[in-house]
Structure 1
């Protein structure tokens, strides 16, 4: 089985490829990034928009991911704006000094300074599109809290400041195997695998397997 990933984000490509390999899925990286206006109001809507844009460009089964960090005490931000949180007027813009991930983290920690409620969760929604009118969604959530300062060198995005529920380590301090077993994206991919297995005699499954 081969699937095109609707992203040029290196961190996502590495992570998703690693999790799909045991399932017998070969990941195809797009040759170019397709501009997608993420005008959706939810992770699901944006995942669909990404899958549709890449499917139209390449014409092969496409897997899109839209994910982010939700902090209830910050009115749900960064949420669907997670990748560009630093640039939002909400909460004040943050200068990009060493990279966008670092700017996002710096802004989030600034806004949470002195806040005792540091609960947060990662959410990922996957959209697997076989044809324009033929697609399915799965989602995964990982609950936890925001650490006082960044720790660890693994992962990407907000991983250095997110401690999964029951862990003192941040996501960036976990091994790839540990992260895959509990992460929001890992849970969404596991659900996708289970769904395809359950529906293995369906037309949808046969279309996926024929790629």
Structure 2
């Protein structure tokens, strides 16, 4: 007995029974193909923002990569074995690839917009259509040009890293440190004074409480 084959509807494919969700797959493939032939640019909102405005003057966002890592700490135990005792979240990093074409002035403005902020201490926001990541700072940028690459379309990679702000403890109406009561820190064993210390003590007594110069 022959069974119908589930295949998507596409040019050159016979009219047969379609698989469930085939139309959505074809739509996604079509979108990727259009993006590929249009230079792979991603439209806004994509980019690095400060106060609601993009800070990198680029024509396109070619790609964005997000990395989040956790580190499991361990310590040695008997017989050379190790035991895990903690899991630490490492600050995430986001990596953009921007591109700009046009005139040399456009490309110079593109480069200068990154150069102006790469060394500052501002906290920026990464904006993508599916997620927003706040409190990041720029840590790296690079680009290259050759006789056949980067002449018409300049591409620059920009890396960002999460900045975690620590809380500052504020106190008010505190007592003076001199009002604190004495605390017994333990028993102090007496030690005999050295000959130099004895001589200095005698000199202070003979001078009325002042050490002779």
- Asked if TM exceeds 0.5, the reply is no
Structure whose residues are more often helix by fraction: 1
TM-score normalised by the chain length of structure 2: 0.21
Structure with greater Cα Rg: 2
Considering Cα pairs closer than 8 Å and 6+ residues apart, tell me whether 1 or 2 has the greater RCO: 1
TM-score normalised by the chain length of structure 1: 0.21
